A and B are shown apart, each in its own frame.
Chain A
């Protein structure tokens, strides 16, 4: 009777359904947590990689661009533009600051990127038919008597229309265009503006920027140039690769250590859940197992019946968990990027953990003495 184990499962369907659902929820949680971390890693890279810069310069002791507090004086622009190995005039000042603009009357999270239009650091153009770029200032020859209009280009996903105004600091700024979406970590939208406006609104109108970025000549090694610049006493220099590594470590890996720990715990819980429920079910079935052994069922026969149930529950739980995690990811309010290969690996490991713990419980259960058949009721 190939369906004997299925009949047993149908008889105990409430427990089977609850166990399967438990595994499903745990697997989808494990995958969603991984997907959130992947999403954060992708978003952490998105903006930085899109700038096209090879070298990132921040203040000495800041720990790198984006990491610690960094203020660099404007004079480094001329210095960098003449540095051997860097593309002449490629150096660009950059303000990169977290802000709380008021959008439609609500305080919203955002990151303000102030850069020189046409230089590294931000989009060179808006999305087709979505407004225009902001009016640029003359950064090198700043004239307070020629104020630059407060204009911004916003992320296309910010639900803002061209011509709308948002409040930044105490000033109203006008949305003049929309840029292709490049969110920063945890779906934080970027607002692009002229570096002078950013200095005024966010840095107290000081002649500083948070960092400077530049491009190396094609035949140059960014690592070597970054090392040469880093040797200077007042600045720190990093390559793109180092900067990405710093950002991912600072914004994703370190804060997410607890989440990684939680994922491992969830695996253990999933395995424990299957093992525990299998074991409790086995305790309930000791009389039945004893009878099967008394009428000639070998340990392998009984183990086969139990393991078929464990495997079926684990397979269904894991597959449903995979499906559910993709559905949750699509509906999640933040960017969740479940990696397909990772999800297969997670499913595989979860399956092994669930089956392994079920096997241990079943192995204990088949040690039942068939003499038990002479006592008690099923």
Chain B
């Protein structure tokens, strides 16, 4: 299978001198197309830093990154283009814009990618229907439950048909019923859109949904 994301010797350090922390240490990682990978490990082991490197939010201090087979040059390339064309993000705290409705929150990702408004509205309508929020198009985030917000967040992440969606602790703020529902939805969306998904989680109960588990410790991958 082709690798959607491939990192070789990825390293990221924070701080300077004696206070330097190596958050990700010479990590080699490969995520295949269509996989659902879970990245697990203790707090501070470098999970979020790793998906930030893979998602082109952070630039590595060392190592190479390829997305969809293309090498990424973080110095000379506009990473924002890669982020909106090839990557989707789901955040632990949803991070929906409070002044937009659910529909508009999904549309904003396509606005960034310069999609025409009509096409963006059609796509957002389709995605929100898919995640079961047909009745919630015009509700603002403050009017939605945690589970509903996370569904909107997934719809937003899928809006530009990304090669891979990175989800950072997507169930951390949901109860167990909402978590189960969300995981069912993720599986459904994955089947429907053939999207590769990488989830950072502490939640041991989610393991059974993964094709592969990557364990991290002290910035290194210990099992993959």
| A interface residue numbers (CB < 8 A to B) | 1-2, 4, 7-8, 10-12, 287-288, 291-299, 301, 370-371, 373-374, 376-378
Q: Contact between B112 and A295 (Cβ–Cβ < 8 Å)?
A: yes
Q: Which residue of A lies closest to B97 (CB)?
A: A288
CA distance A2 to B98 in the complex (A): 17
Contacts of B89 in A (CB 8 A): 294-295, 373
Partner of A294, one of B83, B92, B104, B120: B83
- Is the CB of B206 closer than 8 A to any CB of chain A? no
Q: Contact between B104 and A298 (Cβ–Cβ < 8 Å)?
A: no
- Is the CB of B213 closer than 8 A to any CB of chain A? no
5 A-B interface contacts by CB (under 8 A): A1-B107, A4-B111, A7-B100, A295-B112, A373-B57
Question: Interface residue tally of chain B, by bracket?
Answer: 35 or more
Chain B positions 51-110 with a Cβ under 8 Å from a chain A Cβ: 52, 55, 57-58, 78, 80-81, 83-85, 87-89, 91-93, 95-100, 104, 107-109
Q: Contact between A374 and B52 (Cβ–Cβ < 8 Å)?
A: yes
CA distance A292 to B117 in the complex (A): 18
Q: Which 5 A-B pairs have the closest CB atoms?
A: A296-B84, A11-B99, A296-B83, A298-B80, A291-B95
- Is the CB of B160 closer than 8 A to any CB of chain A? yes
Contacts of B160 in A (CB 8 A): 296
New A-B contacts (14) at CB < 8 Å, excluding given A8-B99, A298-B78, A301-B112: A4-B108, A4-B111, A7-B104, A11-B99, A288-B95, A288-B97, A295-B108, A295-B109, A296-B85, A297-B84, A297-B112, A374-B91, A378-B93, A378-B97
CA distance A377 to B91 in the complex (A): 10
Partner of A11, one of B52, B98, B108, B112: B98
With known contacts A295-B84, A297-B80, A1–B108 Cβ distance under 8 A: yes
Partner of A296, one of B48, B52, B81, B168: B81
CA distance A288 to B92 in the complex (A): 14
A4, A288, A374 — most chain B CB neighbours (10 Å): A374
CA distance A131 to B151 in the complex (A): 88
CA distance A374 to B200 in the complex (A): 12
The A/B interface has a contact count, at CB < 8 Å, of 83
Contacts of B92 in A (CB 8 A): 374
Q: Contact between B57 and A378 (Cβ–Cβ < 8 Å)?
A: no
- Is the CB of B113 closer than 8 A to any CB of chain A? yes
Q: Which residue of B lies closest to A7 (CB)?
A: B99
A288, A294, A370 — most chain B CB neighbours (10 Å): A294
Contacts of A288 in B (CB 8 A): 95, 97
With known contacts A1-B104, A7-B99, A11-B98, A292–B93 Cβ distance under 8 A: no
- Is the CB of B220 closer than 8 A to any CB of chain A? no
CA distance A297 to B107 in the complex (A): 13
CA distance A373 to B188 in the complex (A): 26
- Is the CB of B163 closer than 8 A to any CB of chain A? no
Contacts of A295 in B (CB 8 A): 83-84, 88-89, 108-109, 112, 156-157
Q: Contact between A1 and B113 (Cβ–Cβ < 8 Å)?
A: no
Partner of B48, one of A12, A374, A376, A378: A374
Contacts of A370 in B (CB 8 A): 57
Q: Mark B159-180, 1 if CB is under 8 A from A, else 0.
A: 0100000001000000000000
CA distance A54 to B55 in the complex (A): 83
Contacts of B120 in A (CB 8 A): 1
Q: Which residue of A lies closest to B109 (CB)?
A: A295
Q: Contact between B107 and A377 (Cβ–Cβ < 8 Å)?
A: no
A335 to chain B, nearest CB (A): 47
CA distance A370 to B107 in the complex (A): 20
